[in-house]
A and B are shown apart, each in its own frame.
Chain A
Amino acid sequence: MVAASDTEESLKRRLRLGERFIEGWIFLAGLLAIVVLLGIVAILLKEGLPAFGYTPPWEFLFGTKWYPVSEPPTFGILPFFVSTLMITLLATAVAVPIGVGCAAYLAEVAPSKVRETVKPIIELLAGIPSVMMGFIGLMLLSPLVQSIFHLNTGFCGLTASIMLSLMSLPIIVSVSEDALHAVPNEFKEAAYALGATQWETIRHVCIPAALSGITAAIMLGLGRAIGETMTVLMVAGGALAVPVSPVEPMTPMTAAIASGIGNAVRGGLQYQALFAIGLILFIMTLAVNLVAERVLERQKRKFAG
């Protein structure tokens, strides 16, 4: 009797210690992720905030003159801001419906063999280096855009948007597909039992149930589109004028950063201004993500209630 409870006790103790040990690692990992996050924010603040000492924020955001290497330099990023908005909105409008539609098809309609073959092929698109996507844009897409729209050159916002849609599509498709796939069968079976068709089930049960995952997929895909540097650098045109239409050459914020950072004097005015652009970009995307989060919370409460 005594022996049995001894072993039992020590087993429980070892289990608790083992549990603590693993929980320690889990906590550490969580901490590390937060540290990286803070690190990025810190570097953006540290290097970018001083830029507003030279150019007041209002002038920075709404100024139209970007002459970083002149004496004295002027920093106004309205052209970049508008470009980013234009290109991102276009890319989103294209990639989200196609991406979620494709995900729904793969998760619910396509036979499993098709799904398991197609999914990795689509994921491959995510691995195509940005330089290569830039080439494809340069050599194939921009001449096409130039002739279709009768432009002087095919280097424009539209070309960039299309390439960005292509780069965010695999993320949107693959992560949404996982979210849809994870919807428990019981939900679907309940819907069928009530007489719903497959399509009605997808629309009214699966997608709402997977909404959190689909939203994450869209945010991640968009994040990729917004943060993409190399490709837009090559195909968006790189002009400094504030764009009025998508078929003009333009410079989104990421391209503006990339086209100066290689040469900027470290810690100098141009360097600070480039980081300030990065900071503004971060705040912009954070705002969008937080809004999406809020909307999602409300949707979830509606669905659960």
Chain B
Amino acid sequence: MGTEARLSREVSQRTAFAFLALATVITLTPVLFIIIYTIINGASALNWEFLTHFPSQAGKAGGIFPAIVGTFYLMLGTLIFALPIGVLAAIYLTEYAKDNWLTRLINTAIMNLAGVPSIVFGLFGLGVFVLTFHFGLSLLAASLTLASQALAMVVTTSREAILAVPKEYREGSLAIGATKWQTVGHIVLPQALPGIITGVVLAISRAAGETAPILIVGAAFFLPGLPQSPFDQFMALPYHLYTVSAHVPGMPRSTMWGIALVLLAVVLSFDVLAAVIRIKARQRK
């Protein structure tokens, strides 16, 4: 009886693991395929001029330099606002707010923000940051808009990461006389860091590729120069890609893929950087 049972459990484990591995392959394949497809189609457009010059002739000539810079600024701007506010808000909602129906509703509603169409965030940003706060069509307004969208992801994943820290850790720390913040800051947060990083990576990656929210809060198709201050308009890779692919007659395909390839490279470098930090954080646990 014992051996049979053992064998059948072995078999179900093998089968299960095969399915899990299959799931992983199914997930990975499209990514790799898309990356390779983009490289094949876009590599021909990549040259020094493409990466360092300004666009010309409605994007059919010249380069995409200001769009690359704009996307960097946007990622940075979104990070500056979404990371601290998101993580601190998560701390508030988990460690300080009372666990009643209101808090649970707020948690669920914030998670719900992830499903709001990006165009609605764009209109929110227009109404609040561009018009009411008088920031105008600007990098600042766009960063705040993207950060608002990113909040759902950052707050929710940070919450989950903080909640996953076993309460024994907190109790131990409080038992030796640490204050609440010392516990949170020195014990809980470092443990939760890998999960927080994941949320940030997913949120910023998405922000870098978003078109709809930035359309009406400051993204431009053609600008004479780089943004000199957070109050200037800016160019961005996703918006540039969208306009040249959809609205410029006679656009060469390779240019479109070239822009896509550059955007992928920008996002990938951010993801890899964050992954390295996350690995270090996991090791320290």
**How many chain A residues touch B (Cβ–Cβ < 8 Å)?**
100
A43–B116 Cα gap in the complex (Å)? 12
CB distance from B97 to the nearest CB of A (A): 7
In the complex, the answer to whether B160 meets A179 with C-beta atoms within 8 Å is yes
Is A121 a contact partner of B31 (Cβ separation < 8 A)? yes
Per the 8 Å Cβ criterion, residues 153-177 of B in contact with A are 153, 155-157, 159-161, 163-166
Q: Which A residues are in CB contact (< 8 Å) with B69?
A: none
Give 9 nearest A-B pairs by CB, closest first.
A223-B114, A127-B205, A30-B92, A101-B23, A29-B88, A129-B209, A127-B267, A223-B115, A182-B164
A189 to nearest B CB, angstroms? Answer: 14
Given A123-B202, A213-B160: A109 in contact with B21 (beta carbons within 8 A) = yes
Question: Which residue from chain B places its CB closest to the CB of A182 in the assembled complex?
Answer: B164
28 of the cross-chain contacts (CB-CB < 8 Å) are A23-B180, A33-B86, A36-B113, A37-B110, A44-B120, A101-B23, A104-B20, A105-B20, A110-B24, A120-B268, A122-B31, A125-B31, A129-B209, A174-B198, A175-B160, A175-B202, A199-B12, A199-B16, A200-B13, A213-B160, A219-B156, A220-B152, A224-B114, A224-B115, A257-B119, A258-B212, A278-B116, A281-B115
Q: Is the CB of A131 within 8 A of B180?
A: no
Which B residues are CB-close (under 8 A) to A230? 118, 211-212, 242
The verdict on B46 contacting chain A, using a C-beta distance below 8 Å, is no
Which residues of A have CB within 8 Å of B260?
129, 132, 135
Q: How far is the CA of A140 from the CA of B36 in the complex (A)?
A: 13
Q: Tell me which residues from 215 to 260 in chain B have a Cβ below 8 Å from any Cβ of chain A.
A: 237-238, 241-242, 245, 256, 260
Q: Are A129 and B202 in contact (CB under 8 A)?
A: no
Interface string of A207-242 (1 = CB under 8 A from B): 000101100100110111011111000000000000
Q: Are B211 and A130 neighbours in the complex by a CB distance under 8 Å?
A: yes
Chain B residues, Cβ within 8 Å of A104 = 20
Residue of B nearest to A178 (CB): B195
B282 to chain A, nearest CB (A): 7
- A118 close to chain B: CB less than 8 A: yes
Q: Does B106 contact A (CB under 8 A)?
A: yes
- Of the residues B113, B156, B157, B241, contact of A37 by C-beta under 8 Å: B113
Q: Chain B contacts of A121 at CB under 8 A?
A: 28, 31-32
Query: Is B73 in contact with chain A by the CB < 8 A criterion?
Result: no
Option from A18, A26, A37, A183 in Cβ contact (under 8 Å) with B91: A26
0 or 1 for each of A97-136: is its CB under 8 Å from B? (1 = yes): 1110110111001100000101111111111111110011
Asked if B56 CB lies within 8 Å of chain A CBs, one says: no
Residue on A nearest B208 in the bound complex, by CB: A127
Q: Is the Cβ of A223 less than 8 Å from the Cβ of B111?
A: yes
Q: B239's closest neighbor in chain A, by CB?
A: A131
Q: How many A-B residue pairs have CB under 8 A?
A: 305
Bound CA span A33–B17, Å: 40
Q: Which of B28, B92, B199, B267 contacts A118 (CB 8 A)?
A: B28
Question: How does the 8 Å CB contact mask read for B258-282 relative to A, with 1 for contact and 0 for none?
Answer: 0010011001101110110001001
Partner of B27, one of A15, A16, A47, A173: A173
Q: Is the CB of B34 within 8 A of A136?
A: yes
Contacts A97-B23, A136-B34, A258-B212; is A197 near B13 (CB within 8 Å)?
Answer: yes
Interface string of A276-305 (1 = CB under 8 A from B): 001001100110011001000000000000
Q: How far is the CB of B67 from chain A (nearest CB, A)?
A: 12
CB atoms of B23 and A98 under 8 A apart = yes
Question: In whole Å, how far is A211's beta carbon from the nearest beta carbon of chain B?
Answer: 11
Is the beta-carbon distance between B164 and A213 smaller than 8 angstroms? Answer: yes
Complex CA–CA separation, A125 to B32 (angstroms): 9
- Give A29-53 as 1s and 0s: 1 = Cβ < 8 Å from B's Cβ atoms: 1101110110111011001000000
Q: Which residues of A contact B105 (CB under 8 A)?
A: 290
> What is the 8 Å Cβ interface bit string for chain A, positions 1-44, against chain B (1 contact, 0 not)?
00000000000000110110011011111101110110111011
- Residue among B16, B89, B115, B160 making CB contact with A285, cutoff 8 Å: B115
Tell which of B47-55, B57-65, B123-131, B134-142 binds the partner.
Answer: B123-131
Q: Is the CB of B245 within 8 A of A131?
A: yes
Please tell me if the beta carbons of B23 and A130 are within 8 angstroms of each other in the complex: no
Query: What residues of A have a CB within 8 angstroms of the CB of B201 in the complex?
Result: 120, 123, 126, 174
| A254 part of interface (Cβ distance < 8 Å) | yes
Asked if residues B199 and A175 are in contact (CB atoms below 8 Å), the reply is yes
**Chain A positions within 8 Å of B270 at CB level:** 127
Which one, A54-62, A69-77, A150-158, A164-172, is touching chain B?
A164-172
A276: shortest Cβ distance to chain B, in Å?
12
B118, A212: Cβ atoms closer than 8 Å: no
A23–B195 contact, CB under 8 A? no
For B9-26 the 0/1 string (1 means CB < 8 A from A) is 110110011011111101
A268 within 8 A of B: no
Q: From B96, B117, B179, B201, name the one whose CB has the most chain A CB atoms within 10 angstroms.
A: B117
Evaluate whether A136 and B156 lie within 8 angstroms (CB atoms) in the complex, with A118-B28, A127-B267 already known: no
B118 touches A43 (CB 8 A): no
How far is A135 from B115 in the complex, measured between Cα atoms in Å?
22
Query: Does A127 lie within 8 Å of B92, measured CB to CB?
Result: no
